[in-house]
């Protein structure tokens, strides 16, 4: 890989890119801007990152190469002077229940070394502190920190007697041999309602043992067995057993009777007794890991033993990087599957900052997601630190504060989809501010706060919420208006809204960014219910059967089964997708494609953007369904594009699209501006306004000040993250927030600065 000072790209044509040529300066921080769908990801991830990874893989031996996913060469004439890529994205961090903040950042291994060498009593052995090592793990929970228990409250219905079917486990139904163990063994009265049992009877039912054997009879045989309480028996036969030998159906049934609890042996610490007995200044390694990182820094900085000092300093430096990026409210024992996408991405960033590798290309996808304006500055410092270590840093980002920190900006546009795919500007931030592009105009636009507030029609209460860090929070959310919930990351917004509010008002519609449970064949068209009427339209026009136009019918391409792509599953790897050569990605056989409506084949229609489809369809149902995509700002999406290619923000908006045109609903959205350009945010705000004007209640968790200023009502949480947060700092209109100086609201401070 060359020594030249720029990455050179000639003729890039991936997705909507229009034969794009450009040079990206190396060893600088370059930010890619542009409206959603303009082609930023196609350029940065699908062209630069894919080609860099492909070239890197080519340097390995044949044997290693065979184990790696195959990358197809991106559509471009030349891509040169690349360096080894590191993609830091928002994909969930290790879904593994053994992965924690401590293990994924490698900070835990430094701390283990500290305890092994300097704890008392000193144990010498580092693996003793590893909960992923049999020597170190708690024997009770095998290092998971939690255990599964059969929950007595779920296996029986206390309002019934045994004769009335009080036992809820399906294979213990009235009359079965299992049921006889309790109902006909003479130990319990089968007609007595369980709620009336004495403590002794309860014990007999759930945990009893001993006494004479019980005869269980089936139609043609009988069997003498030892008496055993219901919970003990289900635990022994169904929970402690190797689940792989159980049928899918029984495994599913049993999961309804299980609760997960913190392991009583290690109290959730995952470690065995020897490791937990070792202390530094009276605290065990588990105590350290339970603490918020911000507090742990204080504990470590008090270590003054000169021998321990170098390791302590290394641990402290790593912890400070986590705190600097606004994640000081996390603890090292936090399981990574519970982190949000933004939190996970920032932790990955921290891990790379500790690396001494240089000359890499780092690629980030909207690293400001989930960050309060207060913390965006620190994020910029870390990105610059990565650059200063001798790396090239490429960032796709919409946040004006991050854009302002760039050494170089590439603006992709002018608009989305077929109207985008060109480089409309390259240069410095100062130059961009005067450029005639949507980004340049967005940066110049003076923000105005809302002055006309809608009147609430009623209110929905959350009372005494204590989820996670919430400090007994009671608050009311006004109905019939737009409420924005703000606060720094970790202050408790999601805990309050996604958990406390949603469980108090379960009829609310939660529209999040999680993957859509769908098959590899799902597309916006299938998701919105466009396919059925579309097949009928083609069938009627051409006088053939509708089934012919189904992607899993006889009309489908045989080589890709109508997927348009050939998918290869490799153990332990992401599946690899390759273009289907037979149908050239068009999914159907030629004879099917010969049938047209107004000159377009079904493949032509599925390749249209939502916007173009609205213009093409004359049929009302089809037009209305596709128009919903345009209304949520996804007009640029190809209606036949696999849902798996959508970003989190796009998934969230497509979920919203199927919910439109209701009235009297409560919509809850978590950070809907993710992935949105400044000019798209205006579209989103208009959509939220429309929902409210149609008689709905809208509650959004959001940092974007362009949304905050549009709120009818603001609920600000804080003041800080973690245990320093969890309180309501302010409630009221944006105007009141602006004038509430000294309220301690960081959001107020930043809104004031923004509206300047
Ligand atoms: P951005 O990153 O600027 O939001 P993208 O590069 O993701 O934009 O998308 C650019 C265009 O390419 C859009 O029209 C999008 O719908 C299309 N596109 C993106 N990914 C795929 C894909 N895997 N298959 C087909 N079209 C895609
Ligand atoms: P926000 O939405 O404002 O970023 P959260 O509600 O996600 O804040 O987090 C509030 C606090 O609760 C933080 O200290 C966070 O670490 C903690 N928390 C959030 N989710 C979990 C979880 N699944 N397990 C343990 N702690 C959690
Ligand atoms: Zn345990
Ligand atoms: Zn095919």
Where do runs of H (alpha helix) occur along 394-514? 400-404, 429-433, 438-444, 493-494, 502-504
Copy the structure tokens of residue 47.
Answer: 């062209």
Residues with CB under 6 A from ligand 2: 329-330, 334, 338, 468-469, 487, 489-495, 721-722
Cα–Cα distance between 295 and 288 in angstroms, integer?
9
Please give the Cα distance from 61 to 486 (Å, whole number).
51
The per-residue pLDDT for 64 is 76
Closest ligand to Cα 676: 1
- Nearest-CA residue for ligand 2 atom 15 is 490
| pLDDT score of 276 | 92
pLDDT given for residue 569 in this prediction: 60
Q: What is the pLDDT of residue 3?
A: 55
Considering only CA atoms, which of 340, 174, 167, 242 is closest in space to residue 701?
A: 340
- Lowest average pLDDT, out of 47-61, 118-132, 658-672, goes to 118-132
Is the pLDDT at 176 greater than 50? The verdict is yes
CA pair distance 197, 158, nearest whole angstrom: 9
Q: How far is the CA of 127 from the centre of ligand 3 (A)?
A: 16
Query: Residue 545: which residues within 8 A CB-CB, separation 6 or more?
Result: 539
Which of 102, 373, 492, 671 for mutating ligand 2's site (highest number of atoms within 8 Å of CB)? Answer: 492
User: Residue 131 and residue 452: Cα distance in Å, rounded?
Assistant: 57
Nearest atom in ligand 2 to 717's CA: 3
Q: What is the pLDDT of residues 208-222, one digit of tens each?
A: 999 999 988 888 888
Local structure of 470: helix, strand or coil: coil
- Give the CA angle between residues 603, 609, 612 to the nearest 5°: 95
Atom in ligand 2 nearest the alpha carbon of residue 330:
16
Which residue's entry shows tokens 């996804």?
Answer: 634
Of 123-127, 279-283, 710-714, 749-753, least confident by mean pLDDT is 123-127
State how far the Cα of 675 lies from the Cα of 647, in Å rounded to an integer.
8
Q: What average pLDDT does this structure show over 400-404?
A: 94
Tell me the CA–centroid distance for residue 492 and ligand 2, in Å.
Answer: 6
List Cα–Cα distances, 630 to 202, 431, 648, in angstroms.
Answer: 60, 32, 17
Q: Which atom of ligand 2 is nearest to the CA of 495?
A: 6
SS (H, E, C) 725-741: CCEEEEEECHHHHHHCC
- Residue with the bigger pLDDT between 518 and 543: it is 543
Ligand 1 atom 14 nearest Cα: 417
**Tens digits of residue pLDDT in 535-550:** 999 999 999 999 899 8
Q: Output phi, psi for 477, to 5 deg.
A: -105, 120
| Residue 573 CA to ligand 2 centre (angstroms) | 30
**In this model, does residue 572 exceed pLDDT 90?**
no
Ligand nearest to the CA of 268: 3
Rounded to the nearest whole angstrom, what is the distance from the C-alpha of residue 703 to the centroid of ligand 2? 16
Strands across the sheet containing 20-25 = 20-25, 6-12, 78-80
> In 344-448, at which residue ranges do the beta strands (DSSP E only) sit?
361-365, 392-396, 408-413, 422-427
pLDDT at 126 over 80: no
| Secondary structure string (H, E, C) spanning 543-578 | CCCHHHHCCCCCCECCCCCCCCEEEECCCCCCCEEE
- Cα(211)–Cα(188) distance, integer angstroms: 13
Q: What is the pLDDT of residue 1?
A: 43
Comparing CA positions, the residue from 154, 695, 124, 663 lying closest to residue 455 is 695
Structure letter (DSSP) for residue 68 = S
Q: What is the pLDDT of residue 570?
A: 54
Q: Which two tokens stand for residue 502?
A: 């949603």
Q: CB–CB of 274/139 below 8 Å?
A: no
What's the token pair of residue 387?
Answer: 């650059």
With 90 as the cut, is the pLDDT of residue 575 above it?
A: no
Q: What confidence tens digit (pLDDT) does each residue in 312-352 have? A: 999 999 999 899 888 999 999 999 888 887 888 888 888 88
Q: Report the separation in Å between the CA atom of 459 and the middle of ligand 2, taken as the mean of its atom positions.
A: 25
Q: Which ligand is nearest to the CA of 556?
A: 4
- For residue 43, the ligand 1 atom closest to its alpha carbon is 6
Counting ligands in written order, the one closest to the CA of 343 is 2
Tokens 């009311």 belong to 476
* pLDDT score, position 125: 84
Query: Which of 325, 375, 469 to probe ligand 2 with, by most ligand atoms within 8 A of CB?
Result: 469
Average pLDDT over residues 251-275: 87
From the alpha carbon of 15, which atom of ligand 1 is closest?
12
Average pLDDT over residues 721-741: 92
Work out the angle between the directed axes of helices 620-631 and 531-542 (0-180°, nearest 10): 140
Residues 6+ apart with CB under 8 A from 732: 713, 714, 740
C-alpha 260 – ligand 2 centre gap (Å): 19
CB 183 within 8 A of CB 163: yes
Which residue's CA lies nearest to atom 12 of ligand 2? 468
Rounded distance between C-alpha atoms, residue 165 and residue 668, angstroms: 40
Q: Cα dist. 320→376, 380, 528 in Å? A: 16, 16, 47
Mean pLDDT within 701-728 = 94
**Atom 1 of ligand 1: nearest residue by CA position:** 37
User: What is the per-residue pLDDT across 371-394, written as a single tens digit (0 to 9) for each?
Assistant: 888 888 888 988 999 999 999 999
pLDDT for res 244: 57
Closest Cα to residue 514, out of 650, 639, 642?
Answer: 650
Residue nearest to atom 20 of ligand 1 (CA): 645
- Mean pLDDT confidence for 190-202: 95
Which pTM value belongs to this model?
0.81
Ligand with minimal distance to 593 CA: 4
pLDDT at 92 over 70: no
Per-residue pLDDT, averaged over 732-744, amounts to 86
Q: Which of 294-303, 532-541, 679-688, 724-733 has the lowest mean pLDDT?
A: 679-688
Compare 571 and 105 and report the one with higher pLDDT: 105
Three-state secondary structure along 86-151? EEECCCCCCCCCCCEHHHHCCHHHHHHHHHHHHCECCCCCHHHHCCCCCCCECCCCCCCCEEEEEC
Ligand 3 ion: nearby residues, β-carbon < 5 Å: 138, 140-141, 263, 265-266
Question: 38: CA distance to ligand 4 center in Å?
Answer: 27
E strand residue ranges, 532-665: 565-568, 576-579
Helix (H) or strand (E) holding 713: strand 713-718
pLDDT at position 2 over 50: no
Closest CA to 534 of 626, 426, 667: 626
Ligand 2 atom closest to Cα of residue 499 = 6
The answer, yes or no, to whether residue 686 has pLDDT greater than 50, is yes
What is the distance in A from the centroid of ligand 2 to the CA of 513? 17
Residue 561 has a pLDDT of 86
376 neighbors 346 (Cβ within 8 angstroms): no
**Is pLDDT above 60 for 573?**
no
Q: How confident is the model at residue 576 (pLDDT cuts 50, 70, 90)?
A: low
d(CA 596, CA 24): 44
Cα 731 to ligand 4 centroid, rounded to whole Å: 56
Q: Among 13, 15, 413, which residue has the most ligand 1 atoms within 8 Å of its CB, making it the best to mutate?
A: 15
Quickly tell me which residue has 């309860």 as its tokens.
Answer: 202
What is the distance in A from the centroid of ligand 4 to the CA of 594?
16
Residue 571 pLDDT greater than 90, yes or no: no
In whole angstroms, give the CA distance from residue 359 to residue 35.
30
Distance CA 175, CA 183 (A): 9
DSSP SS3 for 9? strand
Pairwise CA distance, residues 483 & 716, whole Å: 10
Distance CA(524)–CA(636), nearest Å, equals: 12
Cβ atoms of 347 and 94 within 8 Å: the answer is no
Ligand 1 pocket mutation, candidates 72, 364, 565, 638, criterion most atoms within 8 A of CB:
638
The average confidence (pLDDT) of the chain is 90
Give the three-state DSSP class for 603.
helix
In this structure, the residue with its CA closest to atom 22 of ligand 1 is: 645
DSSP 8-state code for residue 217? E
CA 6/CA 25 separation, integer angstroms: 4
Q: Which of 144, 205, 216 is nearest to 180 (CA)?
A: 216
CA 705 – ligand 1 centroid, Å: 26
Ligand 1 cavity residues, CB under 6 Å: 15-16, 34, 36-42, 412, 416-417, 636-638, 641, 645
For residue 650, the ligand closest to its alpha carbon is: 1
Residues 314 and 318: their CA atoms lie apart, in Å, by 6
Q: Among the bound ligands, name the one nearest to the CA of residue 551.
A: 4
Here the ipTM equals: 0.93
- What are the distances in angstroms from CA 216 to CA 181, 213, 531, 578, 737? 7, 10, 56, 59, 72
- Which protein residue has the closest C-alpha to ligand 1 atom 24? 641
Q: How far is the CA of 273 from the centre of ligand 3 (A)?
A: 9
Backbone angles phi, psi at 37, to 5 degrees: 90, 5
Bridge-based pairing of strands 482-486 and 697-701 is parallel
The ligand that comes nearest to the alpha carbon of residue 46 is 1
Q: Provide, rounded to the nearest whole percent, the portion of the chain with pLDDT above 90.
A: 59
- pLDDT confidence of 246, banded at 50, 70, 90? low
């Amino acid at each position: 890989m060359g020594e030249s000072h720029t990455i050179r790209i000639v003729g890039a044509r991936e997705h909507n890119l229009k034969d794009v040529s450009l040079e990206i300066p190396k060893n600088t921080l370059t930010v890619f801007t542009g409206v959603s769908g303009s082609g930023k990801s196609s350029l940065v991830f699908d062209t630069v990152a894919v080609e860099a990874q492909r070239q890197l893989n080519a340097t390995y031996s044949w044997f290693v190469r065979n184990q790696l996913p195959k990358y197809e060469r991106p559509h471009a004439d030349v891509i040169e002077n690349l360096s080894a890529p590191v993609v830091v994205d928002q994909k969930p961090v290790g879904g593994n229940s053994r992965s924690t903040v401590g293990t994924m950042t490698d900070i835990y291994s430094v701390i283990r070394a500290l305890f092994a060498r300097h704890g008392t009593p000193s144990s010498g052995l580092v693996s003793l502190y590893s909960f992923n090592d049999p020597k170190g793990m708690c024997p009770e929970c095998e290092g998971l920190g939690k255990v599964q228990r059969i929950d007595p409250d779920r296996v029986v219905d206390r309002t019934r007697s045994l004769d009335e079917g009080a036992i809820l486990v399906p294979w213990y139904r009235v009359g079965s041999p299992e049921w006889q163990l309790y109902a006909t063994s003479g130990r319990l009265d089968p007609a007595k309602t369980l709620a009336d049992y004495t403590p002794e009877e309860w014990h007999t039912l759930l945990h009893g043992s001993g006494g004479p054997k019980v005869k269980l009879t089936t139609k043609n045989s009988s069997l003498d067995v030892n008496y055993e309480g219901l919970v003990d028996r289900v635990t022994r036969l169904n929970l402690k057993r190797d689940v792989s030998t159980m049928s899918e159906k029984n495994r599913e049934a049993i999961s309804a009777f299980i609760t997960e609890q913190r392991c009583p042996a290690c109290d959730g610490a995952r470690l065995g007794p020897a490791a937990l007995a070792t202390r530094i200044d009276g605290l065990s390694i588990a105590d350290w890991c339970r603490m918020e990182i911000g507090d742990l820094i204080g504990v470590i900085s008090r270590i003054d033993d000169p021998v321990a000092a170098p390791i302590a300093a290394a641990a402290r430096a790593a912890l400070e990087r986590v705190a600097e990026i606004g994640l000081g409210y996390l603890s090292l024992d936090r399981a990574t599957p519970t982190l949000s996408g933004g939190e996970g991405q920032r932790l990955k960033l921290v891990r790379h900052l500790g690396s001494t590798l240089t000359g890499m290309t780092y690629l980030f996808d909207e690293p400001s997601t989930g960050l309060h304006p207060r913390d965006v500055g620190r994020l910029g410092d870390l990105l610059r630190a990565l650059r200063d270590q001798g790396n090239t840093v490429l960032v796709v980002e919409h946040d004006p504060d991050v854009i302002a920190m760039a050494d170089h900006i590439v603006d992709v546009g002018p608009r989305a989809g077929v109207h985008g795919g060109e480089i409309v500007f390259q240069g410095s931030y100062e130059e961009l501010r005067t450029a005639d592009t949507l980004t340049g105009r967005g940066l110049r636009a003076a923000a105005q706060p809302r002055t006309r507030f809608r009147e609430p029609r009623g209110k929905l209460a959350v009372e005494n919420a204590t989820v996670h860090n919430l400090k007994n929070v009671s608050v009311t959310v006004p109905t019939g208006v737009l409420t924005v919930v703000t606060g720094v990351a970790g202050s408790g917004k999601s805990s309050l809204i996604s958990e406390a509010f949603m469980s108090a008002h379960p009829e609310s519609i939660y529209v999040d960014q999680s993957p859509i449970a769908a098959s590899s064949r799902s597309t916006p068209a299938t998701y919105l219910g466009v396919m059925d009427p579309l097949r009928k339209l083609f069938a009627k026009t051409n006088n053939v059967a509708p089934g012919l136009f189904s992607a899993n019918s006889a009309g489908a391409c045989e080589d890709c089964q109508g997927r348009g792509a050939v998918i290869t599953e490799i153990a332990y790897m992401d599946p690899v997708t390759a273009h289907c050569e037979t149908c050239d990605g068009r999914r159907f056989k030629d004879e099917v494609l010969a049938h047209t409506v107004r000159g377009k084949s079904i493949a032509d229609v599925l390749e249209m953007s939502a916007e173009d489809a609205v213009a093409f369809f004359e049929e009302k149902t089809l037009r209305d369904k596709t128009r919903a995509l345009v209304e949520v700002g996804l007009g640029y999406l190809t209606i036949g594009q696999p849902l798996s290619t959508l970003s989190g923000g796009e998934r969230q908006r497509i979920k919203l699209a199927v919910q439109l045109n209701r009235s009297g609903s409560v919509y809850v959205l978590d950070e809907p501006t993710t992935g949105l350009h400044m000019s798209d945010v205006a579209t989103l705000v208009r959509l939220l306004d429309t929902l409210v004007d149609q008689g709905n209640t809208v509650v959004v968790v959001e940092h974007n000040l362009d949304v905050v200023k549009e709120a009818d009502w603001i609920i600000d949480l804080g003041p800080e993250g973690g245990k320093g947060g969890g309180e309501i700092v302010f409630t009221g209109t944006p105007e009141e927030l602006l004038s509430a100086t000294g309220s301690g609201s960081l959001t107020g401070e930043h809104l004031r600065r923004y509206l300047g």
